[in-house]
Structure 1
Amino acid sequence: MKLEKFCYGIAVVLLVFGIQSCSDASSSSLNDEDSRIQLVLVDAPGDYLEVNVQIIDIQYNSIDDEEGWKSFTPQSGYPIDVNLTELIAGNSLLLTDEIIPSGMLKQIRLVLSDDNYLVIEEENGEPSEPIHLKTPSAQQSGLKLKLDEELEPGFSYTFILDWDVDKSIVKAGNSGNYNLKPVINVNAEVNSGTLKGSVIGKINPEDSESVALEGVLVEVFSVDDLNNSVSSTQTDDRGDFMFQGLAGGSYVLKIMHLGYLDYESEIVPGILIEVGMINELPNSIELLLADSLKGTVVGKLLPDDLNPVTLGNVTVELFDAVDLDNALSFDVTNVDGVFSFQGLATNSYVLKIVHEGYQNYESSSIDVEYGVLNELTENIELLLVQ
């Protein structure tokens, strides 16, 4: 897979809040002049099959001079190739675990090669060829942010780098090109907590049990700001998700998945995150299938009535348009005459209605697209038997 090359050496500077960990000089490698630094990478993914980045250097600077940059030495060496979409549900990548001289930590940055690309899902459901990620010239020199944090001798510091893929990749109009503008949220493990949970749902309305749902978008919001997510992730093949590095406080989960109703957890009292603790939700979050086809049944009660009224307790059967002998499902209208079918696959369907006192009804073919509600614009009017 041959990729285009763009200017070498893009630098992304990460803002790190250095907070002293609870560990002191218990490590035999630490002395009264050194501090231990761990950088752990996790992902807040976007809607991509793969997002592959290549890290060729991880640097820190203890002084204000440009000559002060020094490189960490990761255990596996450089380059570090990582598919960010795999870092979900507790999967993480230890970028570096190193002892450095104590004192001021001014800046930290990641340096990427020019070999970064993504894979998306094509309209036919197949993976695309690798799409090269371009970086605007303003980003190539790197954005340097001052930390000015004091590393105390004999103490360890763990920083969780949460790479927000959804905010980091920007599509360039209709050109088919994508720009890489990395957005990474950084939290010190010592002043944060973890939230774990799982998502389940029925695949078909007739299923007796719900199953784990993979690839579900889960966002976490502070109860004080429900418009801007703190972080986002996706469920793995077991339906599990995990948020690391959350500051102590109350949070709300919002979940969206194609074919299912949107979910939002209770705002009051919210989900409590305590510093240094793992809050594992006691029950799986069950998503409900969204309506795929919806309509209303009406009819006159007496031949002389001027207008039809909604008819409740009417059985509506659903058929595949190419098999009108075997019903796929049925629903019964409520008091407002409304019926609905959930979780339908993309297909053409036919409705049949048999109701005492009324002529049998059969619709024309109705096209349904998975995850999109087809709400019939006209009521289905049943005609009285003459």
Structure 2
Amino acid sequence: MKKILLIATFIVFGITVNSCSSDSTSGTYAYNVRMTDAPGPYEKVNIDLKAVEVTGNNGQTVLLNTTAGIYNLLEFSNGLSTLIATSELSDANVSQIRLILGSNNTVVVGGVTYPLDTPSAEQSGLKLQVHQTLLADIQNEILLDFDANASIVKTGNGTYKLKPVVRTIVTAITGNIKGSITPIGTLAVVTATSVDAVEYSSSVNALGEFQISGLLPGIYTFTITPLLPLLPVTQTNVVVTAGVNTNLGVIAL
């Protein structure tokens, strides 16, 4: 009888160990990719998104569940963003994101629609280096911040090329600076400069609003530079905290 009980005990122990071992290796990580934009001097900047891939530290590439389509980047500025891809990943580390674009990319200037030539993005995809460690049991997220102004190049023959300038932002560890200016309609560039002289810039939109996203926690010097004859306005010791919008309110030029 004692022998039978001992055998049963080992069987139960073996099942328990095996179950625990399986649970520890079957973890997945929820992952979302969102897209936002810094305003630019265009009426529309349309990006033809086909697919999004991520590569982990193990070298494995995963095709995410992508909401493919034509996105007007200018609809997602000053704090607005849109979810473009999502998936469950088995690797806790993301080293690279790859955006695959189609050929229907356009820019609208003065009411005229121009095609955006994107040869490199069409052939191999736009590769963005990321060093992000994912956590279990939460919605891990990364924000792709397009700079529409810097991403579009006008050629000498009047055509336009798309050379995407994109910053990757891990929203959980960064903060934002936002606010607005008067008079509304003034063209201006806003810049946040860290204590180690790293600059982050954006543009004021048609409503006078601005937001600089993806700032590491710290103290910044914030400058608004409007077109002449208006003069720049500077605020020092602007504190940025992770996960927080630092609102500067309405700033008069």
Confirm or deny a common fold (TM above 0.5): yes
Pick from 80, 87, 91 the counterpart of residue 98 of structure 1: 87
Unaligned 5+ runs, structure 1:
1-30, 122-126, 202-212, 288-386
Point out which structure has higher relative CO (alpha carbons under 8 A, 6+ apart).
Answer: 2
Pick from 47, 54, 58 the counterpart of residue 60 of structure 1: 54
The letter for the 1-side match of 2:211 is: M
TM-score (norm 1): 0.53
Q: In proportion to residue count, which structure has more strand?
A: 2
For 1:280, the equivalent position in structure 2 comes to: 247
Q: In proportion to residue count, which structure has more helix?
A: 2
For 2:203, the equivalent position in structure 1 comes to: 233
Give the C-alpha shift of residue 137 in structure 1.
4.7
The CA distance in 1 between the partners of 2:214 and 2:127, in whole Å, is: 22
Runs of 4+ in 1 over 6 A off after TM superposition: none
Pick from 145, 148, 151 the counterpart of residue 168 of structure 1: 151
Deviation string 1:248-270 (CA, Å, 9 cap, x unpaired) is: 1222333344565032313xx33
For 1:318, the equivalent position in structure 2 comes to: none
State whether residues 38 and 78 of structure 2, in contact with CA within 8 Å, keep that contact through their aligned partners in structure 1. no
Task: Quickly say closer, same or farther: Cα 1:90–1:216, change in 2 above 3 A.
Answer: farther
Aligned residues: 229
Give the C-alpha shift of residue 138 in structure 1.
8.4
For 1:43, the equivalent position in structure 2 comes to: 37
State whether residues 59 and 72 of structure 1, in contact with CA within 8 Å, keep that contact through their aligned partners in structure 2. yes
For 2:232, the equivalent position in structure 1 comes to: 263
For 2:164, the equivalent position in structure 1 comes to: 182
Task: Quickly say closer, same or farther: Cα 1:215–1:182, change in 2 above 3 A.
Answer: farther
Q: 1:123-272 to 2 correspondence within 5 Å? A: 127=111, 129-137=112-120, 140-142=123-125, 144=127, 147=130, 149-172=132-155, 174-201=156-183, 213-214=184-185, 216-224=187-195, 229-237=199-207, 239-258=208-227, 261-266=230-235, 269-272=236-239
For 1:110, the equivalent position in structure 2 comes to: 99
Deviation string 1:151-203 (CA, Å, 9 cap, x unpaired) is: 3433432212111112211122x2101111111111111111121211112xx
Unaligned 5+ runs, structure 2:
1-24
RMSD in angstroms over aligned alpha carbons?
A: 2.8
State whether residues 44 and 74 of structure 2, in contact with CA within 8 Å, keep that contact through their aligned partners in structure 1. yes
Deviation string 1:51-71 (CA, Å, 9 cap, x unpaired) is: 111101011123666xx4332
State whether residues 43 and 109 of structure 2, in contact with CA within 8 Å, keep that contact through their aligned partners in structure 1. yes
Pick from 58, 66, 78 the counterpart of residue 89 of structure 1: 78
State percent identity of aligned pairs. 29
Give the C-alpha shift of residue 45 in structure 1.
2.4
Q: Which has the larger radius of gyration?
A: 1
State whether residues 198 and 235 of structure 1, in contact with CA within 8 Å, keep that contact through their aligned partners in structure 2. no
